[in-house]
Homo-oligomer: A and B are copies of this chain.
Amino acid sequence: MTDGLSEKQQGILQFLEDFIAEHDYPPSIRDIQHGCDISSTSVVDYNLKRLEERGFIRRDREVSRAIELLTPHGERRRRTVPVPLLGKIAAGSPIPTPPDTLTPGAYDETIELTEEQTGGRTNIFALRVEGTSMIDALINDGDIVVLEATHSCDDGEMVAVWLRDENETTLKKFFHEGERIRLQPMNATMGPIYTRAANVEVQGRVVTAIRSL
C-alpha cells in the first residue's frame, strides 16, 4: 500500500483529492500545510517535488495553486461535461420532446458524462428511455441513451426521429425504403412504422447507452 510513498506524501495526496473535490480548485502550499499539519511550507514543497517526480501530480512553476492530480497511470484526470437530459422518450407510445434547440436553459436537467462517453462530441444530449420497444437492441426501460445531434443518418442506425404530423419523437432504427422511411422498433413483438420522408426529421444518433442497476 505504501507504493514507496512516505506517510506524509500519502496524506498530501489524500488531502489534494479531498480539497479539489470540495472546492473544485487546487489548494495552495499553505492550504496543504495546515490541512496536513505540516510545520513548514518548505516541507510541503519538498514533498510535492517528490510526488511530481513519481508522476502522481503535475505542477506549473510560479503559478499559484497550479497542481494537477494525475491518475494512477500518470494520465490527466478529466472533468465532466454537462449533457442536457431533454426528457423521457417512450418508444412504445411516443411522447413529444423538444426539438434540437440546444440553447442553455431550454431543458431543466443535466447529467454529467466523461469525454470518454461523449467521444469528445459537443452536440450531445441525453434521453431517458421509457418502455421496452428497444429491448432487442439491449436498451431497457429506465436506461439513459446519449445521442449526437444530427439531421442525417445511415440505414440501420439507431436514431431519435421527430414525426411532424404526429408531433412526437421516437427512438427507432432507421431505413430508407424507396419513397418511404421504415422506422423499426427493436422489439420482436412490435411492428415497424412506415411514413413519408417529409414527415420524419432525424434529431440524433444514439452513441452510448447507460444502465444503472
User: Which A61-112 residues have C-beta < 8 A from chain B?
Assistant: 63-69, 71-73, 75-80, 82, 84, 103-105, 108-112
Chain B residue with minimal CB distance to A145? B213
Expressed in whole angstroms, the Cα–Cα distance for A69 and B104 within the complex equals 15
Nearest-Cβ distance from residue A133 to partner chain B, whole angstroms: 14
Q: Which residues of B contact A82 (CB under 8 A)?
A: 71-72, 77
Would you call A194 an interface residue if the criterion is a C-beta within 8 Å of the partner chain's C-beta atoms? Answer: no
Say whether, besides A82-B71, A105-B3, A210 and B209 are in contact (CB < 8 Å).
yes
Interface range on chain A (Cβ under 8 Å from partner): 35 or more
* Segment at the B interface, from A23-31, A163-171, A174-182: A23-31
Would you call A193 an interface residue if the criterion is a C-beta within 8 Å of the partner chain's C-beta atoms? Answer: no
* Segment at the B interface, from A33-41, A43-51, A113-121, A196-204: A113-121
- Cβ A68 vs Cβ B25 within 8 A: yes
Q: Which residues of B contact A3 (CB under 8 A)?
A: 103-105
- Cβ B104 vs Cβ A66 within 8 A: no
Nearest-Cβ distance from residue A6 to partner chain B, whole angstroms: 15
Expressed in whole angstroms, the Cα–Cα distance for A20 and B76 within the complex equals 12
Expressed in whole angstroms, the Cα–Cα distance for A130 and B123 within the complex equals 31
Expressed in whole angstroms, the Cα–Cα distance for A78 and B77 within the complex equals 12
Chain B residue with minimal CB distance to A1? B103
- Cβ A76 vs Cβ B24 within 8 A: yes
- Cβ B116 vs Cβ A114 within 8 A: no
- Cβ A108 vs Cβ B73 within 8 A: yes
Of B24, B79, B116, B208, the residue contacting A21 (CB under 8 A) is B79
Would you call A187 an interface residue if the criterion is a C-beta within 8 Å of the partner chain's C-beta atoms? Answer: no
Chain B residue with minimal CB distance to A72? B104
